[in-house]
Amino acid sequence: MIRFKAFTAGFLTSLASLALVSLASGQLTPTQRVPRTEPQEKYDNPPAAARTIETSPGMISQLGSFISVQVNVDANHQNILGDAANECSISVNPIDRNKKTIAWRQFNDVTSNFRQAGWGYTTNGGASWTFPGVLENNVFRSDPVTNFDEVGNFFYLSLQSDVNLSFFCDDLWRSINGGQSWTLLSGEKGAGGGDKQWLAIDKTSGPGHGFQYQSDDGINCSGGGVEFQRSINGGVTWQPPVNIPNSPAYGTLDVDSSGNLFIGGEGSSFFCERSSNAQIAAQTPRFDQSASVNLGGFLGFGGINSAGLDGQTFLAIDRSGGATNNNIYMLASVVPNGRSTTDVMFARSTDGGKTFSTPVRVNDDPVNPNKWHWFGTISVAPNGRLDVVWYDTRNAANNTDSQLFYSWSTDAGLTWAPNVAVSNSFNPFEGYPNQDKIGDYITSVSDNTGADVAYSATFNFNSTRGQHEEDIYYVRVAPAPTGINLVSAASRLTQGTAGTFDINMPLTGTSGVECRSASTYNAVFTFDAPVTSGQVTVLSGTATVGTITFSGNSMIVPLTGVTSAEVVTLHTQNINGDGQAHGDVPFGFLVGDADATRVVGKSDQTLVQGQLRQPVTSANFREDLNADGRIQNGDVQLVKADKGHTIP
């Protein structure tokens, strides 16, 4: 590992330049397993001396439809020359997705690797960003991690240490105004924790709601091995640490819809550890299930990221409420056996973390031992889509210039979409802040249509230094649109031997009225092209979606549990795997409302009685209220039973 002590700024710059010459010529440092017995964070330099700040235009870098916006800019949205920023963590307000925050390691001057806790925020969906500064001036901080709760509060878990490396402790900060300002909740070093910590928040409605959890890499505040800690009061105080079986380090943690906590990481191999009682405040957390996970290699250190990790382990859980609910996914950029470069590898568990699938390679370029696919990260959308981004050198003649790449899966990781480059190429070796790495990770947050990504890149050129600079960028990624459109919706029932009849449901505005009584209704969505897959969720109402079938241009969705008087709004999405929303359609259900006035009354009874014993046809099928293919006295009785019922 290259380590610089407190030399003069000129000597440091000369050393850094020599390192860059070596790296640019293709002489990468050897790739090895991640060191486990020494801290990844080292206090090598004091804070840089104050200097005159110069600026250049803030960078917007576009590749096709993907626009990367610089985040670490001054109040006038100008790039700050001579600083550096890397290792970024993004959070998004789930109530107002225009509000996002990104935290990073801030280096005020590239001549010193003294780092602080920087952050930025946006209120316009990422079109522009504000960088207010650092959490605390001249406090050595690293490993920035953010998360958010279900009401849009942001949390910032920050590691700090001192010149003697006499402690590695975290503290927890909260923002209630979209990341514009932060309040220290835990007190200095009050969150315990340690190096390479990650943070999870229980957002379920169970007994652990609001609990915060963190794990570290074993270099920590207590000095007691790879540990887990819990806060049951929103991060204000943190309980004593608990050792994690198999010491899974350099990995994230997440909570399933039942409140079970899972931690993924690498020990002697990759592991997934479960605690089912971390959600019980009165009990000391214990880990009651362990699974070894094959990701097809090991976490690398060095190589393309000379003095840093080539990736970490990301564990993410599906909480979609659908067929894939509580699937557990693990992903990492790993070094396959016999290689010195990395691939993005994925495995999943469909049985609550007891077992995991064989690993799947996400990057789809031909296997090439000279190409890197590093800093892989995964996030899960509320609709169950998986989004993965990583740095990729497949297009680089020198095998090291990198681009951000993206892929997604709409079948729980069984297959992956063709990889897409979503950024321009950049040289990852330039702009080092007297430390030979571009951080240790990037992050993303998914929603139903795409993902918000924070990453570091070197697009800005500093003519004074003669090289590019490390900066933080935000980019929105999403699956490619299929161009398919929803054109109509209907409620369909087969009425005995009389035939099958549809009641139209307008796509917007006031709903149609399904007046017939049935235990299972069929919502039929018709598109302008053939459909072979899709998803439907209930946004409002009491319906339960059954097994969806497809026929030509139509998607047929069985609904059970519908009451006799309600409006059910159905959300259509991910048609033919496009990951996109396709409309929210209201379906009105009011049994007995034969004339579709939205009130069951005397006029409906008169209408049905006027059709008694008549053949059921397309002209009078609404009067066959019990949908048995005959208009009889039972239909009249249905009107009487529901008389006075209404829907809005």
Residue in this structure with the two tokens 């002489």, named with its chain if needed: 27
| 55 burial type by CB count under 10 A (0-12 exposed, 13-18 middle, 19+ buried) | middle
Token pair of 446 as six digits: 């998914």
pLDDT band at 7 (very low <50, low <70, confident <90, very high): very low
Average pLDDT over residues 355-377: 98
Using the predicted structure, report yes or no on whether residue 54 has a pLDDT greater than 50. yes
The C-alpha torsion from 267 through 337 and 327 to 211, rounded to 10°, is: 30
* Amino acid 89: pLDDT: 98
How far the first Cα of the chain sits from its last, in Å, is: 68
Whole-number Å distance between alpha carbons of 562 and 564: 7
Alpha carbon of 383 to those of 32, 420, 447, 538: distances in Å? 38, 21, 8, 11
In eight-state DSSP terms, residue 496 is G
* Amino acid 163: pLDDT: 84
CB 589 within 8 A of CB 564: yes
Whole-number Å distance between alpha carbons of 73 and 120: 9
Whole-number Å distance between alpha carbons of 501 and 14: 80
Token pair of 98 as six digits: 């225009």
Whole-number Å distance between alpha carbons of 466 and 468: 7
pLDDT digits (tens, 9 = 90+) for 216-247: 999 899 988 999 999 999 999 999 999 999 99
Q: 51-57, long-range: CB within 8 Å, 24+ apart, which pairs?
A: 51/82, 51/109, 53/80, 53/81, 53/82, 54/80, 54/81, 54/82, 54/464, 55/79, 55/80, 55/81, 56/81, 56/460, 56/462
Closest CA to 439 of 159, 15, 142, 163: 142
pLDDT band at 645 (very low <50, low <70, confident <90, very high): very high
Q: Would you say how long the chain is, in residues?
A: 648
Using the predicted structure, report yes or no on whether residue 19 has a pLDDT greater than 70. no
Threshold 0.85, pTM exceeds: no
pLDDT digits (tens, 9 = 90+) for 274-313: 999 999 999 999 999 999 999 999 999 999 999 999 999 9
pLDDT band at 482 (very low <50, low <70, confident <90, very high): confident
Neighbours of 285 (CB within 10 A): 21
| 215 burial type by CB count under 10 A (0-12 exposed, 13-18 middle, 19+ buried) | buried
532 φ/ψ sector (left φ>0, alpha ψ -120 to 50, else beta): alpha
Average pLDDT over residues 34-42: 82
pLDDT band at 6 (very low <50, low <70, confident <90, very high): very low
pLDDT band at 22 (very low <50, low <70, confident <90, very high): very low
Neighbouring-strand partners of residue 344:
333
Q: Where do the domains of the chain lie, and which CATH numbers do they carry?
A: 9-477 (2.120.10.10), 486-641 (no CATH)
Q: Which of 342-346, 391-395, 411-415 has the lowest mean pLDDT?
A: 411-415
Using the predicted structure, report yes or no on whether residue 185 has a pLDDT greater than 80. yes
Whole-number Å distance between alpha carbons of 418 and 35: 34
Q: Which of 11-15, 429-433, 587-591 has the lowest mean pLDDT?
A: 11-15
Token pair of 211 as six digits: 């609990």
* Amino acid 322: pLDDT: 85
* Amino acid 26: pLDDT: 52
**Averaged confidence pLDDT in the chain:** 93
Using the predicted structure, report yes or no on whether residue 3 has a pLDDT greater than 50. no
Closest CA to 87 of 119, 110, 63: 119
* Amino acid 249: pLDDT: 96
Alpha carbon of 500 to those of 319, 457, 553: distances in Å? 36, 59, 18
Q: Within 13 Å of residue 339, how many CA atoms lie on the same side as its CB?
A: 21
Average pLDDT over residues 570-585: 87
Residue in this structure with the two tokens 């960028």, named with its chain if needed: 473
Alpha carbon of 196 to those of 106, 140, 165, 301, 306: distances in Å? 16, 15, 15, 14, 18
Token pair of 190 as six digits: 């009050």
Give the max Cα distance, the chain: 100
Is 121 strand, coil or helix? strand
* Amino acid 15: pLDDT: 36
Q: Which of residues 637 and 11 earns the better pLDDT score? A: 637
CB 138 within 8 A of CB 116: yes
Whole-number Å distance between alpha carbons of 315 and 254: 7
Average pLDDT over residues 348-370: 98
Whole-number Å distance between alpha carbons of 289 and 295: 19
Q: Which of 476-485, 500-509, 614-623 has the lowest mean pLDDT?
A: 476-485
